[in-house]
């Protein structure tokens, strides 16, 4: 695309990429995933509470071990490397104690969202320079990395801008209630 006097506004292009593209492609991605037996359903087993880690690396290792044991990935080391590579590009720390580390690759078997509530907040580069205690880890197989990846990030990130959502997540340790809140966010209902 040439950039010049008649070029589209960059802000509009960002808006389209972040908001419109994931919404338009949502139905196609879900249909492809369902045809292949892959779903984005959120399960209570992917809610991990009172996670005792001391830093991002130990958190990524914890997530990778969980993903390997639960057959979400075939090699835990590759997942840790993918998280670290993503963090080198731009921090996935947000604000208000939340982060959304995400990884994509051939070693991931199915799209997954894993929510972790940490026992103690950990240091993370965030917009408000505060530590992180609530983590949404997103895992995306390579075959869905474009649309599915953006869709998952978009829905969770959009929900994280809603005070009702963040307050509900931070103020409960009830797994059934967390599942209900997170499922609602994944459906774009916040």
Q: Which residues are catalytic?
A: 102
Phi–psi pair at 131, nearest 5 degrees: -70, 165
b/e per residue, 85-97, with b = 16+ CB within 10 A?
Answer: ebbeeeebbbebb
Hey, what are 62's tokens?
């914890």
- Residue 117 CB partners (closer than 8 Å, separation 6+): 47, 48, 49, 50, 51, 133, 134, 135, 173
CA–CA separation, 120 and 59 (whole Å): 11
CA distance 75 to 73: 6
Residues near 158 by beta carbon (within 8 Å), at least 6 away in sequence: 188, 190
């Amino acid at each position: 695309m040439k950039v010049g006097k008649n070029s589209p506004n960059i802000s509009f292009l960002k808006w389209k990429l972040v908001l419109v593209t994931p919404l338009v492609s949502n139905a196609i991605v879900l249909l492809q995933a369902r045809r292949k037996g892959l779903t984005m359903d959120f399960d209570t087993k992917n809610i991990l509470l009172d996670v005792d880690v001391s830093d991002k690396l130990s958190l990524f290792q914890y997530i990778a071990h969980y993903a390997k044991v639960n057959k979400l990935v075939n090699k835990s080391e590759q997942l840790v490397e993918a998280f670290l590579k993503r963090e080198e590009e731009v921090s996935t720390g947000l604000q208000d104690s939340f982060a959304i580390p995400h990884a994509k690759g051939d070693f991931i078997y199915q799209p997954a969202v894993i929510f972790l509530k940490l026992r103690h907040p950990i240091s993370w580069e965030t917009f408000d320079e505060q530590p992180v205690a609530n983590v949404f880890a997103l895992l995306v197989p390579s075959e869905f990395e474009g649309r599915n990846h953006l869709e998952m990030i978009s829905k969770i990130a959009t929900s994280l801008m809603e005070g009702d959502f963040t307050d509900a997540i931070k103020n409960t340790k009830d797994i059934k209630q967390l599942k209900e809140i997170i499922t609602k966010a994944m459906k774009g209902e916040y």
